[in-house]
Protein backbone atom coordinates (compact mmCIF):
# COMPACT_ATOMS: atom_id res chain seq x y z
CA UNK A 1 0.00 0.00 0.00
CA UNK A 2 1.17 3.46 -0.80
CA UNK A 3 0.45 6.40 1.46
CA UNK A 4 -0.80 8.62 -1.32
CA UNK A 5 -4.31 8.66 0.08
CA UNK A 6 -3.29 9.88 3.50
CA UNK A 7 -3.07 13.37 4.76
CA UNK A 8 -4.43 16.78 4.12
CA UNK A 9 -3.06 17.26 0.61
CA UNK A 10 -5.22 14.46 -0.74
CA UNK A 11 -8.18 15.73 1.29
CA UNK A 12 -7.72 19.19 -0.23
CA UNK A 13 -7.52 17.69 -3.74
CA UNK A 14 -10.73 15.71 -3.16
CA UNK A 15 -12.56 18.79 -1.86
CA UNK A 16 -11.28 20.99 -4.68
CA UNK A 17 -12.16 18.49 -7.41
CA UNK A 18 -15.65 18.13 -5.94
CA UNK A 19 -16.26 21.89 -5.88
CA UNK A 20 -14.61 22.68 -9.21
CA UNK A 21 -15.50 19.69 -11.36
CA UNK A 22 -18.43 17.82 -9.85
CA UNK A 23 -20.99 19.82 -7.86
CA UNK A 24 -21.34 22.52 -10.57
CA UNK A 25 -23.10 19.95 -12.78
CA UNK A 26 -25.83 19.61 -10.17
CA UNK A 27 -26.16 23.39 -9.82
CA UNK A 28 -26.20 23.81 -13.59
CA UNK A 29 -28.86 21.10 -13.78
CA UNK A 30 -30.90 23.00 -11.21
CA UNK A 31 -30.55 26.16 -13.28
CA UNK A 32 -31.31 24.54 -16.64
CA UNK A 33 -34.03 22.36 -15.18
CA UNK A 34 -36.32 25.34 -14.84
CA UNK A 35 -37.11 25.51 -18.52
CA UNK A 36 -35.10 22.96 -20.51
CA UNK A 37 -36.99 20.91 -23.06
CA UNK A 38 -36.38 17.36 -21.85
CA UNK A 39 -37.72 16.03 -25.12
CA UNK A 40 -35.38 18.20 -27.18
CA UNK A 41 -32.52 16.75 -29.19
CA UNK A 42 -29.77 18.37 -27.13
CA UNK A 43 -31.04 16.96 -23.85
CA UNK A 44 -31.53 13.52 -25.39
CA UNK A 45 -28.01 13.52 -26.76
CA UNK A 46 -26.48 14.52 -23.40
CA UNK A 47 -28.45 11.76 -21.75
CA UNK A 48 -27.22 9.16 -24.28
CA UNK A 49 -23.57 10.26 -23.91
CA UNK A 50 -23.82 10.02 -20.11
CA UNK A 51 -25.44 6.61 -20.28
CA UNK A 52 -22.87 5.19 -22.72
CA UNK A 53 -20.05 6.55 -20.56
CA UNK A 54 -21.28 4.80 -17.42
CA UNK A 55 -21.94 1.56 -19.35
CA UNK A 56 -18.36 1.74 -20.62
CA UNK A 57 -17.07 2.30 -17.09
CA UNK A 58 -19.00 -0.75 -15.88
CA UNK A 59 -17.41 -3.02 -18.47
CA UNK A 60 -13.95 -1.59 -17.79
CA UNK A 61 -14.34 -2.34 -14.09
CA UNK A 62 -15.48 -5.84 -14.94
CA UNK A 63 -13.02 -6.78 -17.68
CA UNK A 64 -9.93 -4.87 -16.50
CA UNK A 65 -10.44 -4.93 -12.73
CA UNK A 66 -8.20 -3.37 -10.13
CA UNK A 67 -7.35 -5.29 -6.98
CA UNK A 68 -9.21 -8.27 -5.58
CA UNK A 69 -11.85 -8.46 -8.32
CA UNK A 70 -9.05 -9.74 -10.54
CA UNK A 71 -9.02 -12.95 -8.47
CA UNK A 72 -11.91 -14.77 -10.15
CA UNK A 73 -11.22 -15.51 -13.85
CA UNK A 74 -12.74 -13.31 -16.54
CA UNK A 75 -15.26 -15.94 -17.65
CA UNK A 76 -16.62 -16.23 -14.12
CA UNK A 77 -16.91 -12.46 -13.72
CA UNK A 78 -18.79 -12.22 -17.01
CA UNK A 79 -21.00 -15.20 -16.13
CA UNK A 80 -21.88 -13.69 -12.74
CA UNK A 81 -22.59 -10.35 -14.39
CA UNK A 82 -24.83 -12.00 -17.01
CA UNK A 83 -26.63 -13.96 -14.27
CA UNK A 84 -27.28 -10.73 -12.38
CA UNK A 85 -28.68 -8.99 -15.45
CA UNK A 86 -30.82 -12.04 -16.29
CA UNK A 87 -32.19 -12.20 -12.73
CA UNK A 88 -32.94 -8.48 -12.85
CA UNK A 89 -35.18 -8.97 -15.86
CA UNK A 90 -36.60 -12.30 -14.69
CA UNK A 91 -37.79 -10.77 -11.40
CA UNK A 92 -39.61 -7.73 -12.83
CA UNK A 93 -36.56 -5.47 -12.94
CA UNK A 94 -35.61 -6.06 -9.33
CA UNK A 95 -32.34 -4.29 -8.50
CA UNK A 96 -31.99 -6.19 -5.24
CA UNK A 97 -32.43 -9.67 -6.73
CA UNK A 98 -30.21 -8.85 -9.69
CA UNK A 99 -27.37 -7.72 -7.45
CA UNK A 100 -27.91 -10.68 -5.10
CA UNK A 101 -27.95 -13.38 -7.80
CA UNK A 102 -24.94 -11.94 -9.64
CA UNK A 103 -22.92 -11.69 -6.44
CA UNK A 104 -23.91 -15.19 -5.28
CA UNK A 105 -22.85 -16.68 -8.62
CA UNK A 106 -19.47 -14.97 -8.31
CA UNK A 107 -18.95 -16.13 -4.73
CA UNK A 108 -20.16 -19.69 -5.40
CA UNK A 109 -18.02 -19.93 -8.53
CA UNK A 110 -14.96 -18.58 -6.74
CA UNK A 111 -15.22 -21.06 -3.87
CA UNK A 112 -15.89 -23.90 -6.31
CA UNK A 113 -12.69 -23.01 -8.19
CA UNK A 114 -10.58 -22.82 -5.02
| DSSP designation for 40 | S
Q: Least distance to other proteins from the beta carbon of 91, Å?
A: 11
Interacting residues with other proteins between 13 and 72 (CB under 8 A): 13-15, 17-23, 25-30, 32-34, 36, 38-39, 41, 43-72
* 66-99 CB burial, b ≥16 within 10 A, e <16: eeeeeebeeebbebbbebbeebbeeeeeeeeebe
Q: Which of 79, 90, 91, 98 binds other proteins (CB under 8 A)?
A: 98
Q: Say whether residue 92 binds other proteins (CB under 8 A).
A: no
Q: Least distance to other proteins from the beta carbon of 72, Å?
A: 5
**Inter-CA distances, 90 with 52, 58, 81, 96, Å:** 24, 21, 14, 12
Q: Least distance to other proteins from the beta carbon of 75, Å?
A: 14
Amino acid sequence: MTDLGNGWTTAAIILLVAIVAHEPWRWLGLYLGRDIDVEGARFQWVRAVATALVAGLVMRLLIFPAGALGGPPLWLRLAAFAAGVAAFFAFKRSLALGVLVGTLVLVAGSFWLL
